[in-house]
Amino acid sequence: MKLLEERILREGKVGANGVLKVDGFLNHQLDVALLRELGQEFARLFRDCGVTKILTVEASGIAVACLTAEQMGVNVVFAKKSRSRNLTGEVLTAPVESFTRGGTYDVMVSREFLKQEDRVLLIDDFLASGSALEGLLSLTEQAGCSVAGAGVCVEKAFQKGGARLRSRGLRVEALARIESMDAAGGIVFCRETD
């Protein structure tokens, strides 16, 4: 998506640790008008898929998930990363390896918000090694619901997550796919020929 690629080129900062910082519009300050456009695009891509619910993970996935959900007329469930007192009843849990912070954490949702009859669209800001989406997939498997696919704003295609998830049969749509990036500032996007 040209709009997102241009914004990344203009404002994205590549860290030496392989992390792309986009704090000015996606990860800290939120450019709601831009996120609405991203939400519209996800809604268009998945419009005929019978989606009944969007599942994301706190915190950075929530905003774009909400703007997608608004377009699709469905609710958002966000998986929590820490066990709070208001997470009651039966709780589904899956481990995730954190790419940005290192270490492992659990993602958790109340079973009451993922029903067997739900058809779920997974949404997240970034796809890198794929662990976050795999954690969300595991939650849907435990809940027994079906998955329409996953929408991510940015896929770092030079990491293995996207290929692994697609080889599992998951439909993964990325609005910007980065082929390579380096700390000197060079960011190259994938150009699909098909």
Applying CB under 6 A, the residues found at the interface with ligand 5GP are 19-22, 27, 60, 99-100, 124-132, 156, 161
Distances 66 to 61, 123, 139, 149, 186 between C-alpha atoms, Å:
9, 10, 19, 17, 31
- The distance of closest approach from Cβ of residue 163 to ligand 5GP in the complex, given in angstroms and rounded to an integer, is 12
Q: 112 or 188, CB closer to ligand 5GP?
A: 188
- For the CB of residue 4, give the shortest distance to ligand 5GP in the complex, in Å: 13
Nearest distance, CB of residue 14 and ligand 5GP, angstroms: 8
Kind of pairing between the strands at 20-21 and 13-14: antiparallel
User: Whose Cβ is closer to ligand 5GP: residue 4's or residue 127's?
Assistant: 127
Q: For the CB of residue 118, give the shortest distance to ligand 5GP in the complex, in Å.
A: 21
Residue 10 buriedness (CB in 10 A; 0-12 / 13-18 / 19+): exposed
Q: CA-CA distance, 133 to 130, in Å (whole number)?
A: 6
